[in-house]
Amino acid sequence: MIRRSDNHDLSAQNTFRMKVSCACYIEYDTIEDLKSLDFDSLPKPIMSIGEGSNLLFTKDFEGTVLRSCIDYIKYFDAGADKVPLAVGSGVKWDDLVAKTCADGMWGMENLSLIPGTVGAAAVQNIGAYGVEAKDIIAGVTCFDLQTRDKTAFKVHELRYGYRDSLFKDPEFKGRYIITGVLFSLSRVPSPKIEYGALKKIFDGRQPASPMEVREEIIRIRREKLPDPEEIGSAGSFFKNPVVSAAQFAQIAQGYDTVPHFVLEGGFVKVPAAWMIEQCGFKGVRKGGAAVYEKQPLVIVNASGTAAPDEIVALEQEVIDAVRAKFGVELHPEVEHI
Q: Which residues are identified as catalytic?
A: 163, 236, 333
C-alpha to C-alpha distance for 103 and 124, rounded to whole angstroms: 25
Q: Cβ(246)–Cβ(254) under 8 Å?
A: no
3-state secondary structure of 4: strand
210-224 vs 93-102: helix crossing angle, rounded to 10: 140
CB atoms within 10 A of CB 152: 12
**Contact of 298 with 233, CB cutoff 8 Å:** yes
Within a 10 A sphere around the Cβ of 150, how many other Cβ atoms? Answer: 16
Q: Residue 166's closest CA among 181, 51, 176?
A: 176
DSSP 195: S
For 295-304, letters b (16+ CB in 10 Å) and e give bbbbbbbbee
Q: Is 141 in a helix, a strand, or coil?
A: strand
19: exposed, middle or buried (Cβ count in 10 Å: 0-12, 13-18, 19+): middle
Angle (nearest 5°) at CA 296 between 129 and 258: 65
Q: What is the largest CA-CA distance in the chain?
A: 62
Question: Running DSSP on this structure, what letter comes out for residue 157?
Answer: G
